[in-house]
Structure 1
């Protein structure tokens, strides 16, 4: 058993499908999103200004918070006021808060160490609606601009203020990429139809497995184990599946809980050669299931 449809091929550069299973960034459990109309340099911390934004981006990195620049599609308006979000996406402890800042200097008041630990940095009121990020960071990788920008426009026309363009989210080879916050679900190789289906699912509290890369802040093998059990059980709720334990290196064993039932999953990492140039990485790792067993007979509700 492998993942479903192939993910990630840049038109005109990739020669085949790339496996996107379990490829969400593992280093993002907390996020700082700052509205900035651009231009965006290759590395977000190298933006020309304003100075308080540069300081906040670098402070976030030092604290272990993932910084992202965001902007609306279409005509760029200057900031301030700038929209800022703080997001925590680990496990079932997911939340977001946000506020428009009239003065970028207010960024210095945020407690980024608290955000890294999953506590409010003192930004503002809780945000109830999802925050949907589409990577359009052309300075980082041309594929992201070529495929991400049209996708961001299409999603904005359907879902309005939920959608933001953003800087590099990881996995340029899988452009166009979508991140659904606050849970941190990543999707890749998206066209408009696949992205629309993913957003509709997220709005009703579910994921779709087609083009799902995984969940940010989670080890890649744990992402794979969760995916395999979701595929086996059909449980798609964002919080319906929990990886209890994971052991192994290239051959893994995981125990995964789905409501009252527990599954043992044995799977292996395998290598795929990247069919594109160095901008999109070298060899890719994906996973193959060897065994998936129900450990207890509790009925799935």
Structure 2
């Protein structure tokens, strides 16, 4: 398949693809900050570079615009390797990655106006949607956005679908072409990048067990990038891998540096990170450099002790 010329339009991608997207470049602290609520719409394609240019029914375009205005991230999805007829009605999934217990639900609508997106951003399950008990895995294969996403992502989506056929979807642009192939685990919004087939399977197995793998883990969507970095360094320091086992309690900025208090592995840590620029190993159309974060300091905080009242 010529992923650089899908549907007749060239897509950007690596000029030296063999040396890129191998996991040698740091990927942590790069999950999409704005992705807190999700709207997934099944559409077998083709997909234009941007959703507004896709050939979709007008009412679906209206639904996508409504979601975007509410701060919900819209994604097109399709089954790996399938380009069959569209399902009856509009098959959607909605997810809340911000809830104390993140959730994902699905429904089929003949009229997109029947999908209550206001309920979603209020943290309420929309009517006519049913909660899904199993996680959902999205692999970006959006060739028109970046040829590398299809060239690397398609084999990964297909291999993951062999193991998890009902849970795996190809998806449109998720953010971070330079980290292709990208994997998103919902409902928590966990991002992985520079994935191989083996790494994707390992990440999916870990997530189904309630854990992350730090290898190629970009971070959790919806969290500012420096705080993703702080969480990453606490996980690396403590070995805490449970999905909910690390969380930022508070943070403040001091110039370019960010100081955060992070709970992890039953303790609290003061973490200071600052941005740094990393050159990619080859000149690519995806990125010549990336901005990431370096660890300045990580200190375990003493537990709070309360004074014993004096006896009178």
TM-score (norm 2): 0.86
**Within the alignment, does 1:142 sit opposite 2:150 as a pair?**
no
- The equivalent residue for 2:70 is 63
Per-residue deviation at 1:276? 3.6
Cα separation, partners in 2 of 1:64 and 1:119, compared to 1, 3 Å: same
Q: Superposed, which structure 2 residues align to 1:236-251 within 5 Å?
A: 236-248=241-253, 249-251=255-257
Does the alignment pair 1:94 with 2:99?
no
Is residue 79 from structure 1 mapped to residue 86 from structure 2 by the alignment?
A: yes
Separation (CA, whole Å) in 2 of partners of 1:123 and 1:283: 45
Aligned length: 286
Please give the per-residue CA displacement for 1:223-258, whole angstroms capped at 9, x wherever unaligned. 001111011111111111110112124212110012
- Residues 110 and 227 (structure 1 numbering): CA distance in 2 closer, same or farther, change over 3 Å? same
Per-residue deviation, 1:281: 4.1
The equivalent of 2:204 in structure 1 is 199
1:209 counterpart = 2:214: yes
Q: How do residues 104-253 of structure 1 correspond to structure 2 at under 5 angstroms?
A: 105=111, 107-248=112-253, 249-253=255-259
Contiguous gaps of at least 5 residues in structure 1: 1-8
Partner residue in 1 for 2:61: 54
Q: CA deviation at 1:91?
A: 5.7
Alpha-carbon deviations, 1:125-170, whole Å to 9, x = none?
A: 1111001000000000000000001100000001111100000000
**Cα-to-partner distance string for 1:29-51 (whole Å, 9 max, x where unaligned):** 00000000000011112222222
Instruction: Report the more deviating stretch, 185-194 or 44-53.
Output: 44-53
* Residue of 269, 273, 287 corresponding to 2:293: 287
User: Pairwise CA RMSD of aligned residues?
Assistant: 2.0
| Residue among 7, 12, 31 paired with 2:18 | 12
1:115 Cα deviation (Å)? 1.8
The separation in 2 between residues aligned to 1:272 and 1:117, in whole angstroms, is 39
Counterpart of 1:161 in 2: which secondary structure?
A: coil
1:148–1:26 Cα change, 3 Å: same
Could you list the structure 1 runs, at least 4 aligned residues long, displaced by more than 4 angstroms after superposition. none
CA distance in 1, matches of 2:266, 2:161: 39
Distance in 1, matches of 2:232 and 2:31, equals: 12
Inter-partner Cα distance in structure 2 for 1:139 and 1:172? 11
* Matched residue SS, 1:67: strand
Report the secondary structure of 1:83's partner residue.
strand
Which residue does the alignment assign to 1:265? 271
| Alpha-carbon shift at residue 273 of structure 1 (Å) | 3.4
- 1:119 is displaced (CA, Å) by 2.5
- Measure, in 2, the Cα distance between the counterparts of 1:190 and 1:13: 14
- Scaled by the length of structure 1, the TM-score of the pair is 0.89
Q: Does 1:45 align with 2:44?
A: no
Secondary structure at the aligned position of 2:66 is classed as helix
> Using the alignment, how far apart are the partners of 1:212 and 1:223 within structure 2?
10
1:30 aligns to what? 37
